[in-house]
Structure 1
Amino acid sequence: MIPPKDTPERQAALDRLTERARFVRLETVRLSRVAGAGHYTSSFSAAELFAALYYAVLDLRPDEPAWPDRDRFVLSKGHAAIGLYPVLADLGFFPPSDLDTYTRLGSPFGDHPDMKKVAGIDFSSGSLGHGLSIAVGMALGARIGERPYRTFCMLGDGELHEGQVWEAANAAGHYRLGRLVAIVDRNQLCIDGFTDDVMSVEPVEDRFAAFGWQTHRVDGHDLDAVLDVFDALPDDPDGPPQVIVADTVKGRGVRLMEFNPDWHVGNLVGADYDDVIAELQAGLQPMEPMEAAK
């Protein structure tokens, strides 16, 4: 439940979500150390979105992971699973200590999520471009089965280079899947560099709107604004699908990683590890202008 604005309950929720976003970043760093490398920056850009979704928006039952009426979440940018696993453990889908085996031989927790091995995972993602198509299928399944659940799909902005994304967007608009919500993590970077240098994705909102989607844009690190956007989503099963374009910073929270394409995958060791942990424990600091940012 999302508390009303400008109430003590809302502020308490924002404080908790801020702490949970920091938890996502800290656990991403810890698990990367267990694995010997990790997708730090892709998880950091989505930390506030993960916190808002799992602690305020999604209707789930951790003690009943296969509950038929649960909301579905498809992490299409599956390489950010390192930031999602700790949230699922924190909610009680599995013991937090299980994460100590992350990427080790025989562990259910791989670099990309496996729905057959990890409770709370609705789709085995990793090959970019497929998630929105799966989410469209889930939303159609809800309609056919007369189920009330909503389907959420998080995509990376580099993933928008994939043609299958736009085929799925067209289908969702055609079938008016009003309980389908796409979230674009618009962090400006993909593995090959700045997203728009590889292939322009703007104007993102207009492109989705052309396929019949209702669009929203928000600062993806402003939890108050993020909650407002989620709270304002219409619950019309036959209305237009919804897309939230969340403007984020890849690597947000660690200055040496922010807008730095060298940290798409990396490994922190020694003093660098300690310094990053200390920076994250101090909380998000105001952004400074960066020449690399576009």
Structure 2
Amino acid sequence: MTVESRSFAASNTSLALRAWNIRRKALLMGEVQGQGYIGQALGVADVLAASYFHALNYDPKDPEWEGRDRFLLSIGHYAIALYAVLMEAGILPEDELETYGMDDSRMPMSGMASYTPGMEITGGSLGHGLGIAVGMALGLKRKNSPAFVYNLMSDGELGEGSTWEAVMSGVQHKLDNLICLVDFNDQQADGKSTAALAQGDELAKWQAFGWHAQRVDGNDLDAVVAAFDTARASSHPGPRVIIFDTTMCKGVDFLETREITHFVRVEADEWAKALAVLEEGKPQ
């Protein structure tokens, strides 16, 4: 089965600028509501930039194109980050930015697939995304499709039993078209992930279950891109995982140092300050 490539890998816009644009759009949406999961959006922006403008095969004019790679957002509260990259990719129009979280908006505060073009699943019940990804990847295999399934999940989901059931299922079905992306920012609602159930050598855990596993700095774009390339090109006869160590609120230094960053508190007068700080670091 031959499928035409419709990716953005050859774009002239640098990945660093794409990531910066994603961060800026997320901050602008946060300002609309005066709140949002900004820490996660700023932290995962580099991973999203590499996903949509280096790795993924998709068509912004046809989000349901059958030949597309599937990008699943298991962590529904990261929706503000996904909306930002969907706008950057041209799947969502930027003039909808100011409707974020409003009644009748296509961008509710927690992601819902029935509302938003380009959003493959409704996330939020954490620990379910990877299981859905396994089912999608298996279905694509049976169709002889060359498409990949990417599942972005949080480190908090490493404490969910359903995640590890999906991990075993992916190996059982030899799903070499499945790539799991773990955002490891070491933050959950009640504290550090490493103080809960995401303890020990996570890389070794995935390898022990039979996955091709990598762990890289998720805010180092060169490392992120190399990890995507390695995962896609691997001859490993099963699924792949990339664990990305990210910094919450990356790019806005005064927010990075906040004690509580899972739902970081941004005062009304700090949104403009955050945007100004981000502007100072804009890549050329």
Aligned residue in 2 for 1:78: 76
- The structural deviation recorded for 1:30 is 1.1
Aligned residue in 1 for 2:192: 194
For residues 259 and 248 of structure 1, the distance between their equivalents in structure 2, rounded to whole angstroms, comes to: 14
Aligned residue in 1 for 2:96: 98
Identical aligned residues as a percent? 34
For residues 82 and 75 of structure 2, the distance between their equivalents in structure 1, rounded to whole angstroms, comes to: 11
- The structural deviation recorded for 1:96 is 1.2
User: Which residues of structure 1 form unaligned runs of 5+?
Assistant: 4-8, 286-294
For residues 229 and 106 of structure 2, the distance between their equivalents in structure 1, rounded to whole angstroms, comes to: 34
- The structural deviation recorded for 1:215 is 0.6
User: Which residues of structure 2 form unaligned runs of 5+?
Assistant: 1-6
Is contact 2:34–2:268 with CA below 8 Å preserved after alignment?
no
Is contact 2:151–2:180 with CA below 8 Å preserved after alignment?
yes
Please say if 1:207 is aligned against 2:205.
yes
Aligned residue in 1 for 2:20: 22
Distance 1:265 1:61, change over 3 A: same
Aligned partner (choices 259, 265, 268) of residue 266 of structure 2: 268
Secondary structure, counterpart of 2:254 in structure 1: coil
**Alignment map for 1:1-294 (pairs within 5 Å):** 16-235=14-233, 239-258=237-256, 260-283=258-281
Is contact 2:83–2:92 with CA below 8 Å preserved after alignment?
no
Residue identity matched to 1:71:
D
Is contact 1:186–1:247 with CA below 8 Å preserved after alignment?
yes
Q: How many residues align?
A: 277
Secondary structure, counterpart of 2:98 in structure 1: helix
Secondary structure, counterpart of 1:154 in structure 2: strand
Deviations 1:122-167 (A, max 9, x none): 1111111110001001100101111110000111111111111001
After the TM superposition, which of the residue ranges 265-274 and 66-75 deviates more from structure 2?
265-274
Residue identity matched to 2:125:
S
Question: What RMSD, in angstroms, separates the aligned Cα atoms of the two structures?
Answer: 2.2
For residues 124 and 233 of structure 1, the distance between their equivalents in structure 2, rounded to whole angstroms, comes to: 25
For residues 36 and 234 of structure 1, the distance between their equivalents in structure 2, rounded to whole angstroms, comes to: 39
Is contact 2:17–2:282 with CA below 8 Å preserved after alignment?
no
Is contact 1:177–1:237 with CA below 8 Å preserved after alignment?
no
Using the size of structure 1 for normalisation, the TM-score is: 0.88
Is contact 1:253–1:284 with CA below 8 Å preserved after alignment?
no
Distance 1:18 1:74, change over 3 A: same
For residues 203 and 18 of structure 2, the distance between their equivalents in structure 1, rounded to whole angstroms, comes to: 29
Secondary structure, counterpart of 1:193 in structure 2: coil
Distance 1:65 1:276, change over 3 A: same
Secondary structure, counterpart of 2:207 in structure 1: helix
Residue identity matched to 1:216:
Q
Distance 1:168 1:186, change over 3 A: same
For residues 234 and 95 of structure 1, the distance between their equivalents in structure 2, rounded to whole angstroms, comes to: 30
- The structural deviation recorded for 1:267 is 4.7
Residue identity matched to 1:30:
L
Aligned residue in 2 for 1:292: none
Is contact 1:179–1:236 with CA below 8 Å preserved after alignment?
no
Is contact 2:72–2:133 with CA below 8 Å preserved after alignment?
yes
Is contact 1:158–1:190 with CA below 8 Å preserved after alignment?
yes
- The structural deviation recorded for 1:180 is 0.3
Is contact 1:189–1:261 with CA below 8 Å preserved after alignment?
no
Secondary structure, counterpart of 1:269 in structure 2: coil
Residue identity matched to 1:84:
L
Using the size of structure 2 for normalisation, the TM-score is: 0.91
For residues 273 and 26 of structure 1, the distance between their equivalents in structure 2, rounded to whole angstroms, comes to: 11
Is contact 1:115–1:124 with CA below 8 Å preserved after alignment?
yes
Residue identity matched to 2:244:
A
Residue identity matched to 2:281:
G
